[in-house]
Amino acid sequence: MNESSFDEKTLKYLKMLSRTYPTTQSVSTEIINLRAILNLPKGTEHFISDIHGEYEGFRHILRNASGSVRRKIDQALGEYVSSADRDTLATLIYYPEQKLRQLRHTGCLTREWYTITLRQLVAVCRITTSKYTASKVRKMLPKDFEYIITELMTTGSKDFNKEQYYGQIIDSIIDIDAADKFIIAMCHLVQDSVIDKLHVVGDIYDRGDSPHLVMDELEQQRYVDIQWGNHDILWMGAAAGNRGCIANAVRICLRYNNYDFLESGYGINMRPLSLFALETYADDPCACFKPKGTAGADSDAVIAKMHKAISIIQFKVEGQYAMTRPEYEMTDRLLLDKMDLKRGVVTVAGEEYPLLDTHFPTVDPADPYALTPEEQRIMEGLQASFVNCEKLQRHIEFLYKKGSMYRYYNNCLMFHGCIPMQPDGSYTELDVYGVRCHGKSLFDRCEELVRQGRYSKDHEKKKRGADFMWYLWCGSKSPVFGKDKMATFERYFIADKKTHKETSDPYFTLAYTREGTDRLLAEFGIDDPDAVIINGHIPVKIKKGENPIKVEGRLVLIDGGMSKAYQSVTGIAGYTLVSNSHQMYLSEHEPFASMEESVRTNRDMESQYIPVKTYPERVKIADTDDGREIISQIEDLEKLLEAYRSGAVKQGRG
């Protein structure tokens, strides 16, 4: 065979590939390596959604890997280590620095303890890294300890020929006061290796007080992908400067008493809003705006006034969007002009209701959606704070880099929210700036506009994209919202709870049938009988008997209420889904107390194991999307090997 045996495009590609693999030996070695990798077990995948700023609970779920770490400890040590000692070891793995400090304070860090603990950690590390190649494990190790930890893991204390060698390594680590550092490094190795891939199915932001810390944690993950939720897109729109998104983001933070997060977490300047609220609503108790939780009577009173001030600004800004973007079909949300303050009533959907609050000093009845000069200055200041916050912009860039509207990976279709449907089961059509779309095409169009809202060089396209992010947050046909309206005004100002009702999209009943899931998967071009739809967004109300596993495991809901605000409704503290090479299962979590209590008492987060499906044969990498990618790489390398042997490509040449 000679150069003419390959078409020009293939030959050009093979010559480029030869720069990485310049000899037949290097190609052959890589083919052998990749073929071997195909026969390794599939890595464990971890699915989580609706974190909502609950950093402590989220961090613990990551570190205990939804109970996977404890199961690995039991697998490695269960036969000869007591349950109490395994509890201590688990806590050490979750929080090594903190647990070591606590053990030092109680005088437990003896030479014997170090010797036993190092040996136990080596045993656990062998189990958690056993699915990976040696090169992948080395990449997880800190460079300073790579050689020694590798030796400990490959030698083994039961190797007769190297028993003294193994023991001397352990003794030397203790003798030179390096044991703490080695223990910390090995604990992090267990954390990194027990889960191969993390999938976040939306809603990192809002309600909880530390979404910025959640984002910091996600940035450190070895592998993570994110499917955007409506709360994430709200903050993406706010970072793009959309005023509707900014007002909503600030209002929600004040509603949940997260003033400190805005100022300390992202450095958002809240002083102008505070001064304006204290002056404008000085004698107003703002009873409808008391924040959830409590920070003290004086603080709550100030936040309530700020909460009311930004809410009125929000209703004005949103009213402007509803009028200037008629394609959003949101004129039903224009309610400020429906108020009769003299009579103390508001008209909603043709019916009058008494107002709980009639003090609206900044609302001009002749032009109710116009911002006052002071409100205009506040919005300009907030807009500048959001757009120019370096940390927020870094976090939002990470959301774009790792995120998308949906993803299909390893037989799992992941998205947050719904595919908007009509009662007859047909997909709802939305006219998105002149492009009519539904189902999968709606998701694709939404992603296109979300990215335009950040990256477009065309000012008008960028503004349209940013405005559309506000629509995705609260629009009736938004796939990440999935309700007929967001009844924020009604919840604040009307006592009659029938006005508070937000009707869920028909998806949330029609998709929970065999016919519905099959049609939905077909819409995305998926005909795999083993495919699973994984949804977040709607909390599963366990207290009311709702089951998170639908259609015999064909669709799984994983929002069980990690947000503390929802736990009284759901009765639990969230779901996570785990898929390993043997099975897929849900972990149903009880509320997490705190890291401090966990370290002090070795108390783990209580979780109930719920099987979803068991695979008939152990799943190998060859059976996964990564495996199909590797198979394609092998085919390319085999062509390169053939080209080298035929002389079509010369070895050692670029």
- Burial letters for 472-505: b for 16+ Cβ neighbours within 10 Å, e otherwise? bbbbbbbbbbbbebbbbbbebbbeeeebeebeeb
- φ and ψ at residue 556, rounded to 5 degrees: -130, 130
Q: Which two tokens stand for residue 183?
A: 């223990």
- What's the Cα-to-Cα distance from 116 to each of 1, 77, 231, rounded to whole Å? 62, 12, 46
H or E element that contains 643: helix 625-646
Q: In the prediction, which pLDDT does 297 show? A: 62
d(Cα 318, Cα 53) in Å, to the nearest integer?
Answer: 25
pLDDT along the chain (654 residues), means of 10: 74 94 96 96 94 92 93 94 96 97 95 96 94 90 87 73 85 94 95 95 93 97 96 98 98 94 95 97 94 72 96 98 94 96 96 96 96 98 97 98 97 96 95 93 97 97 97 97 96 96 94 94 94 86 75 88 62 80 91 89 87 95 97 97 93 69
| Backbone torsion region of residue 507, taken as left when φ is above 0, otherwise alpha when ψ lies between -120 and 50, otherwise beta | alpha
Dig out the tokens for 159 from the structure.
């190797």
Domain coordinates of the chain in residue numbers?
A: 3-40+631-646, 45-201+536-619, 241-351+358-386
* pLDDT at 293 (0 to 100): 74
- Yes or no: say if 93 and 67 are a contact pair by the CB < 8 Å rule: no
What's residue 654's pLDDT?
A: 44
Token readout for 41 is: 């077990």
Given this model, what pLDDT does residue 339 score?
97
What does the pLDDT read at residue 1?
44
AA letter at 482: G
How many Cα atoms are found within 13 Å in the side-chain-facing hemisphere of 24?
A: 10
Q: Can you name the residues that pair with 498 across neighbouring β-strands?
A: none
Rounded to whole angstroms, the Cα distance separating 454 from 473 reads 16
Contact predicate 416/527, CB 8 Å: no
Q: Which residue has the tokens 């971890």?
A: 46
- Please count the residues of the chain: 654
Q: What is the DSSP letter of 264?
A: I
